[in-house]
Amino acid sequence: ILNVEQSPQSLHVQEGDSTNFTCSFPSSNFYALHWYRWETAKSPEALFVMTLNGDEKKKGRISATLNTKEGYSYLYIKGSQPEDSATYLCAFHYNQGGKLIFGQGTELSVKP
């Protein structure tokens, strides 16, 4: 059974803090790793698709790294803002068909 785990489950930070969370996934049969940002009542928004070991991606204050050999990815948010409050989901993609296996998400709350 393919399993994806995220930690921590929730995180409460102050505005301006930098934070990071982890996604662990199977290190075999790797195809891609997806990060999504999901605000309540909205569509999950794609942040990154990561495919190569050592990949680093950046979008504004958010960045992510990938280690396929050991099966983990980190998501970093620099200088958190209240609008960063959301659930961050990672999803493991192991075949061309596109089936995604999701972690349980990290719920981030940023207080002003």
Between residues 12 and 99, which has the closer beta carbon with respect to other proteins? 99
Calpha distance 26→13 (Å, rounded): 29
| Identity at 16, one-letter amino acid code | G
Quick one: which segment of 12-20, 41-49, 59-67, 76-84 binds other proteins (CB under 8 A)?
41-49
Quick one: which segment of 21-29, 36-44, 67-75, 78-86 binds other proteins (CB under 8 A)?
36-44
Cβ-Cβ contacts under 8 Å for 101 (sequence gap 6 or more): 2, 3, 4, 25, 91, 92, 93, 94
Residues at the contact surface with other proteins, assessed by CB under 8 A: 4, 31-32, 34, 36, 41-44, 46, 49, 51, 89, 91, 93, 96-105
